[in-house]
Amino acid sequence: MAIRRGRGVAAINYPTGMNLGGDPTQALVHSTPTGNFMVTLSSVDLGQGMKQIMAQICAETIGVPTDRVVVDTADTDTGPHCMGTFASRGTHRAGNAVIQAAREARQVMLEVAAEELEVNASDLETDGEGNILVKGAPQRSISIFDVALSAHFKRGRSISGRGMFLIPRSYPEKETGAMKPSTCYAHACTVAEVEVDDETGEVTVLTVKNVFEIGRALNPKMVEQQLVGGSWMGISHALYETTEPYYPNRDHGGTDFNQYLMPGPGDLAQTEIIVLERPSADGPYGAKGPGEMCANPQIPAVANAVFDAVGVRIDTLPITPERILRALKAQAPN
Amino acid sequence: MAKVPVQFTLNGAEKAEFIDSGTTLLHALRDKIGDTSPKGGCHQGTCGACTVIIDGELRLSCLTLAETCNGAAVTTTSGLSEGGVLHSLQRAFLDAFATQCGFCTPGMIMAAKVLLDHTPNPSREDVVEALSGNICRCTGYEPIIQAVLTAARSNSQNAV
């Protein structure tokens, strides 16, 4: 009986969004009279930072500072249609819709500015700080604040835009069953080091080293935050979490947070995160969906590390001490 | 049934309410007084989201009857900032990206505050121990631990 050490590796591809009959998200963008911009969505911010990312995308597209954009995700009754925040689709689908809406709003904004400056709209550019300038003659400029006032009170224009992003439904080919469930994949690889006590079956994750390829990280700190939390959750799925430990027998399920186990602050593996950015062809500014993907590779990596440590393949999650001990017993020569 | 009067200070301000006997402090704070900073996660004392400070001690407001708080001094996360300036723990949580969905955050900050009140220069083990009654689903805890350690460092620098 001993503490045995093992190392496991796993790599995954993970689709961004899903496709069960078409996958649409729509967005609306409009300016207030003072030249701030409102993005209206039905996509929900679960805490992953959807509002911040959509504000960044809108601001980048229109050419204003991010703090000039307000994102309203208040109500699916009144907002433009969104399939929802799930399947790692939020940034990709809603982001593309916001870009389209913001481009249309930007075009109206430039048209109003062109009338004020008596130039052609195609000769105008934004400075990213709230002003519209004549290309090559930046001394001729107008603030977006004044453009919005003009549009609202003088010219009777609505600086607004409509955005729509739809991944059309993909039908399987009759002969082969081949289809295109997603247009965009994120990737990850994890190496996990564990110690397994072959007397108690207890697993301790010592280190977990993750590389994530997530397209362009639109907000690197928020991406890092999500990946660190996701890596923890992957270990939690691998070793702790279940509502039905003896499924299909429903006995002994956890009834509350005391019995639904997750690693606490004292059970943390030393965690390393590396982000690779390979911009996606159809993502907003090259983004993919890192959300669900980031909690996946740890699970097979830990299972492989347990095999490396004590030579048993556990193919049912979570990898509990009981399952390891039963597997060791089944493997032992009588 | 007759209502019961309760009177205590909340973040330094006098509060008086008539409540149903048996009302939890969490319910009284959120639904009677309107301080929604303590969160109701499990309502049975296992998640820590409702944590508040009563007379300097860490308490689970979902397991505390409001009528036992007569004359007490109750502190919640919404009382930490002063004059629009965030408390050092709130600032550190923001800077460390130690909050995602935010549901556990007020309880975490209360637990950390009592730790730092008693142990201004805690070790990592002290922080882990202090946070062990609070569950977080999003962050993986590491950013929270780092935020508390950072707040402790900034407090001691400011004290010099």
Is the domain of B18 the same as that of B73? yes
Is the domain of B115 the same as that of B70? no
Asked whether residue A196 is domain-assigned, the answer is yes
Nearest CA in chain B to A241: B137
Number of domains in chain A: 2
As a whole-number percent, the residues of chain B with pLDDT over 90 amount to 95
Is the domain of A280 the same as that of A324? yes
Is the domain of B68 the same as that of B120? no
- Res A304: pLDDT: 98
- A80-114 per-position pLDDT tens digit: 999 989 989 999 999 999 999 999 999 999 999 99
- Cβ separation of B46 and A264 shorter than 8 Å? no
Residue A102 host element (H or E): helix A95-117
Is the domain of B75 the same as that of B99? no
Q: CATH no. for residue B41? A: 3.10.20.30
Pick from B42, B44, B143: CB nearest A225? B143
- B58-90 per-position pLDDT tens digit: 999 999 999 999 999 999 999 999 999 999 999
Assess B85–A contact: CB distance below 8 Å, yes or no: no
Q: A117, A144, A167: which is the final residue of a domain?
A: A167
Is the domain of B17 the same as that of B75? yes
Is the domain of B30 the same as that of B71? yes
- Res A67: pLDDT: 96
Q: B79, B111, B127: which is the final residue of a domain?
A: B79
Closest CA to A256 of B71, B152, B43: B43
Task: Give the range of the structural domain holding residue A308, as residue numbers without chain letter.
Answer: 3-16+182-331
- Cβ separation of B132 and A225 shorter than 8 Å? no
- A172-213 per-position pLDDT tens digit: 899 999 988 888 999 999 999 999 999 999 999 999 999 999
Q: CATH no. for residue B155? A: 1.10.150.120
CB contacts of B102 in chain A (<8 Å) are: 47
**A40 CA: distance to closest CA in chain B (Å):** 20
CB contacts of A271 in chain B (<8 Å) are: 140, 142
- Mean pLDDT across A266-284: 96
Q: What is the ipTM of this complex?
A: 0.91
- Res A187: pLDDT: 96
Assess B96–A contact: CB distance below 8 Å, yes or no: no
Is 90 exceeded by the pLDDT of residue A76?
no
CB contacts of A233 in chain B (<8 Å) are: 137, 140
Task: Give the range of the structural domain holding residue B102, as residue numbers without chain letter.
Answer: 88-159
Is the domain of A310 the same as that of A215? yes
Is the domain of B65 the same as that of B126? no
Asked whether residue A42 is domain-assigned, the answer is yes
- Cβ separation of B132 and A271 shorter than 8 Å? no
- Res A333: pLDDT: 77
Number of domains in chain B: 2
CB-based contact A34:A55 (threshold 8 Å)? no
**Residue A175 annotated in active site:** no
- B101-156 per-position pLDDT tens digit: 999 999 999 999 999 999 999 999 999 999 999 999 999 999 999 999 999 999 98
Pick from A229, A257, A268: CB nearest B100? A229
Asked whether residue A177 is domain-assigned, the answer is no
Nearest CA in chain B to A236: B140
Asked whether residue A172 is domain-assigned, the answer is no
Asked whether residue A176 is domain-assigned, the answer is no
- Res B74: pLDDT: 98
Assess B73–A contact: CB distance below 8 Å, yes or no: no
Is the domain of B25 the same as that of B71? yes
Q: B79, B113, B143: which is the final residue of a domain?
A: B79
Is the domain of B71 the same as that of B12? yes
Residue A334 pLDDT level (bands cut at 50, 70, 90): low
Strand partners, A191: A9, A209
Is the domain of A194 the same as that of A326? yes
**B12 CA: distance to closest CA in chain A (Å):** 31
Strand partners, A187: A13, A213
- A6-19 per-position pLDDT tens digit: 999 999 999 998 87
DSSP symbol at A85: S
Is the domain of A11 the same as that of A59? no
Q: B79, B106, B140: which is the final residue of a domain?
A: B79
**B27 CA: distance to closest CA in chain A (Å):** 20
Is 80 exceeded by the pLDDT of residue A20?
no
Is the domain of A252 the same as that of A194? yes
- Res A301: pLDDT: 98
Is the domain of A191 the same as that of A142? no
Which residues, 6 or more positions from A68, have their beta carbon under 8 angstroms from its beta carbon? A35, A36, A37, A59, A130, A144
- Res A37: pLDDT: 98
CB-based contact A203:A324 (threshold 8 Å)? yes
Is the domain of B30 the same as that of B48? yes
Contacts A–B by Cβ distance under 8 A? 62
Assess B144–A contact: CB distance below 8 Å, yes or no: yes
Asked whether residue A201 is domain-assigned, the answer is yes
- Res B160: pLDDT: 64
Radius of gyration of chain A, Cα coordinates, nearest whole angstrom: 26
- Cβ separation of B44 and A271 shorter than 8 Å? no
**A241 CA: distance to closest CA in chain B (Å):** 12
Is the domain of A12 the same as that of A30? no
CB-based contact A195:A4 (threshold 8 Å)? yes
- Res A258: pLDDT: 86
Long-range contacts of B125-132 (CB under 8 A, 24+ apart): B127/A265, B128/A265, B128/A266, B129/A266, B131/A265, B132/A264, B132/A265, B132/A266
CB contacts of B99 in chain A (<8 Å) are: 47
Closest CA to B58 of B1, B18, B105, B117: B117
- Mean pLDDT across A217-245: 95
- Cβ separation of B135 and A262 shorter than 8 Å? yes
**B128 CA: distance to closest CA in chain A (Å):** 6
Query: SS3 for A71?
Result: strand
Catalytic residue among A60, A241, A292, A322: A292
- The verdict on pTM exceeding 0.80 is yes
The pair of three-digit structure tokens given for residue B90, joined into one six-digit string: 């709130």
- Mean pLDDT across A277-288: 96
Q: What residues of A are in the B interface, CB distance below 8 Å?
A: 46-49, 221-222, 224-226, 228-233, 256-258, 262, 264-266, 268, 271
Is the domain of B71 the same as that of B103? no
- Cβ separation of B141 and A224 shorter than 8 Å? no
Is the domain of A143 the same as that of A227? no
Is the domain of A159 the same as that of A63? yes
- Token pair 């149903």 is found at B20
As a whole-number percent, the residues of chain A with pLDDT over 70 amount to 100
Cβ atoms < 10 Å from Cβ of A262: 18
Is the domain of A192 the same as that of A327? yes
- A300-318 per-position pLDDT tens digit: 999 999 999 999 999 999 9
Is the domain of A127 the same as that of A189? no
Cite the DSSP H helix spans in chain B.
25-27, 88-95, 105-118, 124-131, 142-159
CB contacts of B139 in chain A (<8 Å) are: 225, 228-229, 232
Is the domain of A146 the same as that of A238? no
Is the domain of B8 the same as that of B74? yes
Assess B123–A contact: CB distance below 8 Å, yes or no: no
Q: CATH no. for residue A45? A: 3.30.365.10
